[in-house]
Structure formats: C-alpha cells, structure tokens
Amino acid sequence: MNRFATGIAFILVALMPYVAMVFRGGGGADTEAESGEPIFVLSPHRREVRLEYSRGFREWLRRVKGRDGRIVWLDAGGTSKILKDLESRFAVRPDNPGVDLLFGGGVAPYLTACERGWLEPVHLPEDALAGIPETCAGTPVYDPQMRWFGVALSGFGILYSRPLVRRLGLPPPQDWEDLARPEYFSWVGSGDPRSSGSVHMCYEILFQA
C-alpha cells in the first residue's frame, strides 16, 4: 500500500438503546442466542464488526444502565438496498418500520433518510458532543439537527500484489493517476459505489481532490 487518502465513514451512534433513529419494531434478522431487551439495527457491516459492537453494547449497557440488552442485526445488503428496504418498511408500517438504528455507510443515505423524515434527533451529552468536530476536511461529521453522527475516520488507498506486478512486468502504482495507465487495463478492481455508501464516499473525495 502506498499513498493514502482519508475519508469519513459516517455511521450512526449505535450504543444508545434508548434513542431511535428510525422507529422500533421487529423483523427478520441475523441474531444471536442472547437474552435481554433487543435493539434492531440495520447495517451493511460484516460479521466481525457486528460481533465487536454486540459485545461492546452488552458491556456498556450493563455497566452504565444496569440492565441486559442485545443487538438484533438486520441484513438487507449494501447501502442502496438498505434504502430500498427502509422505503418498503415505511410504506407498509410508517409508525413501526421495525428498525431502531441505521448503522454504516457514507453520508449520502443519511441525507436521503433525513429528507424523507425517517430519522429522529439524538441529543448527546455535551461532553460527548464536545469531542466530535463539526467538520473534517470541509465535510460535515454530524447533522446540525442531530439526526446522524459520524463515529469513525476510515483510511483507504491502493493495494496491489507485488508478485503479480513483477510477473506481468507492470510498474507498481504510486498514486491514483497511475491506475488510469493503459498497462493496468482490466487489472484494476474496486467496490461498487452504487451499492456501497462507503465506497461512494471514497469516490466523491477522489473526484473533488
């Protein structure tokens, strides 16, 4: 990996069971055999991320609130599919779509959710909000009306296989412009920004650089 750009992965605060970003209910889910009050989280994140947040949430809830709880993960696919899933949920049950939190992806899906009135504001404690900058590199980190928050800064860059580059006689890529060289035709791959909000955000940063 050579040069890096830094992007913001906008994800909602997932450790606040008493606050609903989108209204509460039930539904099909990737759940674990745990006891306690459920919180339904719609997310594109992979299993490893879900396990870590589930563990952290249980420990936080017991320590701070003195009660047991568990995350029930709802899987609808990537960001674009999640928006379609939410649209269907609100069309059928606008007062009880079966989701407590939307977690993961870039900023675009949250702007869409705000426009459609799907999100509710969260009033964070002042000491917590004081630790979150309003912007990063000119990009908002949270909604002025407190309906979504960014809780992670994610790096992205160029990964390449040194053995393959040597075998093909290609020059190692050093910056983003190198990826447009004719020698790399058919050898460059990337996540699909049409389905991944995080990848979409990365492309926005590259195009605006």
CATH number reported for the structural domain that contains residue 43 in this entry? 3.40.190
In the predicted structure, residue 6 carries a pLDDT above the cut 70: no
Does residue 137 sit in the same domain as residue 38? yes
Highest mean pLDDT out of 12-26, 110-124, 141-155: 110-124
Instruction: Tell me if 194 is assigned to some domain.
Output: yes
pTM of the predicted protein model: 0.65
Condensed to tens digits (0 to 9), the pLDDT of residues 184-202 reads: 888 888 777 776 667 777 7
List of E strands, 45-125:
69-74, 101-102
Please give the mean pLDDT across all residues of the chain.
78
Q: Phi, psi at residue 18, to the nearest 5°?
A: -90, 0
Count structural domains, the chain.
2
Find the domain containing 79 and state its range.
9-152
Does residue 50 sit in the same domain as residue 87? yes
In the predicted structure, residue 16 carries a pLDDT above the cut 60: no
- Please name the residues in contact with 153: beta carbons below 8 A apart, sequence gap of 6 or more: 6, 7, 8, 9, 136
Condensed to tens digits (0 to 9), the pLDDT of residues 150-170 reads: 877 777 778 888 998 888 888
Does residue 107 sit in the same domain as residue 160? no
Residue 133: what pLDDT?
Answer: 87
Residue 148: what pLDDT?
Answer: 93
105-118: b (≥16 Cβ within 10 Å) or e: bbbbbbeebeeeeb
Does residue 142 sit in the same domain as residue 171? no
Q: Which of 131, 152, 173 is the last residue of a domain?
A: 152
Residue 108: what pLDDT?
Answer: 80
Q: How are beta strands 135-136 and 139-140 bridged, if at all?
A: antiparallel
Residue 3: what pLDDT?
Answer: 31
The answer to whether 12 and 101 have CB atoms below 8 angstroms apart is: yes
Does residue 83 sit in the same domain as residue 178? no
Instruction: Tell me if 196 is assigned to some domain.
Output: yes
Instruction: Tell me if 109 is assigned to some domain.
Output: yes
In the predicted structure, residue 77 carries a pLDDT above the cut 50: yes
- Using alpha carbons only, give the angle 104, 132, 24 rounded to the nearest 5 degrees: 40
Does an H or E element contain 4, and which?
strand 4-9
Does residue 101 sit in the same domain as residue 170? no
